[in-house]
A and B are shown apart, each in its own frame.
Chain A
Amino acid sequence: MSKDHQVRGVWDKLVNVFLWTFALLVLIPLLFMFTASTMPATEIMKMPYPWISKTFEWQNYWFGLCGADGSFLFIRNIFNSLLVATTVSITTVLLSALTGYGLAKFNFKGRNVVFLLMMATMMIPFEVIMIPLYMVTMNLGLQNTYLGLILPFLTTAFGVFMMRQSLLTFPDEILDAARIDGGGEIWIFSRIVLPNCGPAITTLAILTFRSQWDSLLWPLLVVQTEEMKTIPQYITKYMAETHTDEGIMMAIAVIASIPMFILFFTMSKYFISSNLYSSVKG
């Protein structure tokens, strides 16, 4: 028995070493980004890499925001990204909740067909339909507009599914009581259903915001002018055009990641909890 315990003790230590080494390896590129963002380029490209630099180049951030030509285009592009990601998150949550509520709590003919049709769209990857979508957007005259960036992402099948699953267990008694009290259906939805599915809404909003913040392909197709570009596009263009200072590059990378870090540290439980998992699994 004691030998068994000894083996387990050694095994436990080995597992800890493995996990923390792996964690360190995962963190190294992030640490690199943060440390390099305050270094002059000459230090960054030194071999070996000086993890702690003597000189702090806070100006990297200033130059990053100014842009190579001092036009402050980056700030406009940050605004674009924030606007698009926020709007899409809001519409996705509202429309998914509305639809999920309709599917979970109302019996109507054809409900299952509607549900299956919507779920079928989950199998259609965006990359496959982006060209027809692009042509729809062009025909509507929406290229290079915010509406063009937002419209194809108003809601997702995943969002509908997730809201439906979380509303299935919503007690019918509460809804019926509200109806008997004379509450209209819209009022019930906005005042009783919505406020009571906070966790599902938050998770969905975060997931949507994250995927929009990351989106590159669609903006590449729809946006032509510099002012309308989003952050991923700005970075891509910056990389291709200017062989600039690596420090400024990393400062831009940090700035571009700040909103996600804020979300992560204030709401980490929605990232880590089994919320996402259970909603996917149903």
Chain B
Amino acid sequence: MKPVASGERSILSPDERKQKKWSMERKKARWGWIFVTPALLFFAVFSFYPIFNAFYMSLTKKNLLSLKPPELIWFKNYAYLFKSPDFWNSMKATGLFTLGTFFLLVVFSLTLGALIITRKRCKRLLQMVFYSPALLSSVVAALIWLLIFDPRGLANQFLNFLAQTPGTDHNWLASANMLRLSTIIVYFWKYIGYFTIIFVAGMGSIPKSIHEAAEIDGASRWQDFWLIVLPLIKPTTLLVSVMALIQCLKTFSTQYLFTTSGAPTKPINVITLNIYNTAIRDHNIGRASAMSVILFLIMIVLSWMQFKVSKEDTVTYM
């Protein structure tokens, strides 16, 4: 191949060569477009159109089953929602769930990651064990925990053993706050390994030489963690916290399965569950869309705030 290429080169004058290169670039540009067009069309139909449509639908009144075109009522859906106790209850349910799960996830995955990375043996095994619940689908996870939270189940047995209160029923699936706690536990259990792995990878990418230099300077492990690891994994922490936050705000399956199997709806009527019920059970597409838009705005604002907070005093090592 080589001789042909070099022979070709020697025949062409510099001008011709330039032109040839230019036409090759143009050909490449065309192929670039050909490669990205299918996905671009896909995103246009299945992402951009729906998001604009969601905004538009939120300003209309539309019944899911009727063939009548949507009727424009502007902000009446939003006005209704802001006065609706049901909506505020959903906001509260989502808020409490997110707050609890988010902090537990971030604090524990950071701690577990920091501890695992200092182990010499079984690093991988520990990560595999922590990750294993993430293999189950949310529905299966909820199914297992429903049996554990049963009045005769493991949760009561375990808590009674710890608190030395034999025979007490802690109403895991009946009292409002315990029910909220139950959903938080299920979610925490399912996702803790996933975020721990991300932290382990992030901490693993800190060059060994930095730790060694700190040790020579007399830093304790405690100082090493607070003064070296924590500042250097800031990007990872940001990534994990944005992912965990959005994940928590979107929670659906656990609450759905708990409510369909008889738990009271009100304490865990999170916003996605409310959207689903408003659209599918009440056929009220406009109102459901308005809730979707509010959820979207909350996610955008919260992620933006996290970026903003973490942007200040960024540390780099190179």
B binding-site residues for A, Cβ under 8 Å: 1, 4-5, 24-25, 28-36, 38-40, 42-43, 45-51, 53-54, 57, 112, 115-116, 118-119, 124, 126-141, 143-148, 150, 152-154, 157, 189, 192-193, 197-198, 201-202, 204-205, 221, 235-236, 239, 246, 249-250, 252-253, 256-257, 260-261, 272, 275-276, 279-280, 285, 288-289, 292-293, 295-296, 299-300, 303
Contacts and interface: CB of A to CB of B under 8 A. Distances in A.
B295 A127 contact: yes
B300 to A, nearest CB: 7
A252 B147 CA distance: 14
CB-CB nearest 7 A-B residue pairs: A102-B35, A106-B32, A277-B201, A129-B50, A132-B50, A108-B29, A274-B201
Contact of A128 (B141, B154, B253, B295): B295
Interface of A: 8, 11, 15-16, 18-19, 22-23, 26-30, 32-33, 36, 44-49, 95-96, 98-99, 101-103, 105-109, 111, 114, 117-118, 121, 123-136, 151-152, 154-155, 157, 160, 177, 179-181, 185, 189, 210, 213-214, 216-217, 220-221, 231-232, 235-236, 239-240, 246, 249-250, 252-253, 256-257, 260-261, 264, 268, 271-274, 276-278, 280-281
Contact of A118 (B5, B39, B143, B253): B39
Contacts of B124: 272
Contacts of B46: 133, 136, 151-152, 154
A282 to B, nearest CB: 10
Contact of A29 (B49, B118, B145, B235): B145
Contact of B35 (A99, A177, A240): A99
Contacts, number: 279
Contact of B296 (A47, A125, A136): A125
Given A239-B260, A253-B144, A27 B129 contact: yes
9 contacts: A23-B126, A27-B129, A99-B39, A101-B35, A111-B32, A111-B36, A125-B250, A130-B275, A273-B201
Given A151-B46, A239-B143, A264 B132 contact: yes
Most chain B beta-carbon contacts within 10 A, residue among A114, A214, A256 = A214
A39 to B, nearest CB: 11
Contact of B47 (A49, A124, A216, A232): A124
Given A108-B32, A214-B137, A239-B143, 19 more contacts: A19-B116, A49-B157, A99-B35, A103-B32, A106-B29, A109-B29, A114-B40, A123-B300, A125-B296, A131-B288, A133-B46, A135-B285, A154-B42, A217-B272, A217-B276, A235-B257, A236-B260, A256-B139, A264-B128
A121 B48 contact: yes
Given A47-B157, A132-B54, A236-B139, A271 B131 contact: yes
Nearest to B123: A272
Contacts of B34: 102, 185
Given A15-B118, A271-B131, A281-B236, A177 B33 contact: no
B86 to A, nearest CB: 18
Nearest to A101: B35
Nearest to A240: B260
A240 B51 CA distance: 33
A22 B112 contact: yes
